[in-house]
């Protein structure tokens, strides 16, 4: 099969190789998926650079997200699954071979039924961006009736988080952005208002938009960069749900935080519990079937050009998801 891999950490153009690898076979409890698409996420290029975790496998086929059809099944898996359209989660999490290939063999549960009305390009965006966004708005009681701030509202996770907050009954949805183009993207996802953090004072703007109440929940892409303003923007008893950070440490002022009784919930989508993942997948599947979700596909790139896709993601060239055609 054709695949992309790296044997050492480093820049995309220097370490990513496109060529032939043996086609895997499904083991007991596994399925073999003929991949149509593979999703590129920031965690993929950060791992390739060696920033997030040490390289423990001698050869890595990157990417955790993808979509395609089940071509074969291993012992213990219902043969009726052969031919099923599926999307993938955790394709390369704690495993050496991910979705940047024509085939992947992985546990049956990690290949989720994809409704016929949802394209394989959209399917390659569900494992990390969509599941992260959905858990961020579902956790700790959900967002029904809440005022919600989505930081990075034009990002892959933020774009889904706005939609999910609306579907789950949020009273008001605000989003931070860095340009007029990104503001339009967030508003198109159904945000009520956007805040340009490069031009506006975020706490003052939130106070004005919420009538001084503050937001009940922040869906946070960079808790290290934004922790200092959390006491100012969160309502008493509010929560920040943090799934990302651009630095190793976040500093929060204790006095203002304790006076408001605010909380911070950290999570990583790769380590959701079985129950958490089942709840999120169930809700998302229903919305997919009903055609209620927007999917922002910024670029589709041939598998052979994986290095170019990594560079584009790393440099933030696109608004939306980058998908490889396998």
Q: Please, what is the average pLDDT of the chain?
A: 97
Both 196 and 72 in a single domain? Answer: no
Both 56 and 153 in a single domain? Answer: no
Q: Does residue 199 form part of some domain?
A: yes
Cα distance between residue 326 and residue 321, in whole Å: 16
Over residues 35-44, the mean pLDDT reads 97
Both 198 and 226 in a single domain? Answer: yes
Cα distance between residue 278 and residue 35, in whole Å: 23
In this predicted structure, the answer to whether residue 59 has a pLDDT above a threshold of 90 is yes
Both 79 and 189 in a single domain? Answer: no
Q: What is the pLDDT of residue 47?
A: 94
Q: What is the pLDDT of residue 55?
A: 83
Both 60 and 138 in a single domain? Answer: no
Q: Does residue 290 form part of some domain?
A: no
Give which of 232, 260, 288, 265 is closest to 112, Cα–Cα.
Answer: 288
Q: Nearest-5° angle of CA 273, CA 110, CA 20?
A: 135
Give tens-digit pLDDT for 206-233.
Answer: 999 999 999 999 999 999 999 999 999 9
Q: Does residue 171 form part of some domain?
A: yes
Both 85 and 200 in a single domain? Answer: no
Both 170 and 221 in a single domain? Answer: yes
In this predicted structure, the answer to whether residue 54 has a pLDDT above a threshold of 90 is no
CB 206 within 8 A of CB 150: no
| Domain range enclosing 190 | 129-270
CATH code: domain of residue 87? 3.90.180.10
| pTM listed for this prediction | 0.96
Both 58 and 144 in a single domain? Answer: no
Q: How many domains does the chain have?
A: 2
Q: Does residue 288 form part of some domain?
A: no
CB 248 within 8 A of CB 274: no
Q: Does residue 280 form part of some domain?
A: no
Q: SS3 for 67?
A: strand
Over residues 269-298, the mean pLDDT reads 98
The CA–CA distances, whole Å, from 18 to 24, 120, 303, 322 equal: 17, 22, 8, 18
Both 27 and 114 in a single domain? Answer: yes
Q: Does residue 276 form part of some domain?
A: no
Q: Does residue 281 form part of some domain?
A: no
Both 117 and 200 in a single domain? Answer: no
CB 237 within 8 A of CB 147: no
Give which of 284, 320, 247 is closest to 41, Cα–Cα.
Answer: 320
Cα distance between residue 139 and residue 267, in whole Å: 10
User: Crossing angle of helices 274-289/131-138, nearest 10°?
Assistant: 110
192 secondary structure, DSSP code? S
Both 134 and 259 in a single domain? Answer: yes
Cα distance between residue 43 and residue 314, in whole Å: 10
Both 41 and 116 in a single domain? Answer: yes
Give which of 16, 28, 64, 29 is closest to 44, Cα–Cα.
Answer: 64
């Amino acid at each position: 099969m054709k695949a992309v891999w790296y044997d050492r950490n480093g820049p995309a153009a220097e370490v990513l190789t496109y060529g032939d690898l043996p086609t895997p076979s499904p083991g007991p409890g596994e399925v073999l998926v003929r991949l149509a698409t593979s999703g590129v996420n920031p965690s993929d290029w950060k791992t390739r650079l060696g920033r997030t975790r040490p390289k423990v496998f001698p050869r890595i086929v990157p990417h955790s997200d993808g979509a395609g059809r089940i071509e074969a099944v291993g012992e213990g898996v219902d043969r009726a699954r052969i031919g099923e359209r599926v999307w993938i989660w955790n394709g390369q999490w704690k495993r050496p071979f991910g979705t940047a290939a024509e085939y992947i063999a992985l546990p049956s549960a990690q290949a989720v039924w994809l409704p016929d009305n949802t394209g394989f390009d959209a399917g390659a965006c569900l494992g990390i961006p969509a599941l992260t966004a959905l858990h961020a708005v579902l956790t700790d009681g959900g967002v029904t009736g809440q005022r919600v701030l989505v930081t990075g509202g034009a990002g892959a996770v933020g774009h889904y988080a706005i939609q999910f907050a609306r579907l789950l009954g949020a009273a008001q949805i605000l989003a931070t952005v860095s340009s007029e183009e990104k503001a339009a993207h967030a508003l198109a996802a159904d945000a009520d208002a956007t805040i340009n953090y490069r031009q506006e004072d975020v706490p003052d703007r939130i106070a004005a938009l919420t009538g001084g109440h503050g937001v009940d929940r922040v869906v946070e892409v960079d808790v290290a960069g934004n922790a200092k303003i959390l006491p100012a923007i969160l309502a008493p008893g509010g929560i920040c749900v943090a799934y990302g950070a651009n630095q190793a440490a976040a500093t929060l002022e204790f006095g203002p935080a304790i006076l408001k009784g605010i909380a911070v919930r950290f999570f990583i989508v790769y380590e959701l519990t079985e129950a958490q993942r089942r709840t999120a997948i169930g809700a998302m599947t229903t919305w997919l079937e009903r055609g209620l979700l927007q999917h922002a596909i910024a670029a589709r790139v041939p598998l052979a050009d994986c290095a170019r896709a990594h560079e584009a993601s790393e440099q933030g060239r696109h608004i939306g998801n980058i998908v490889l055609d396998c």
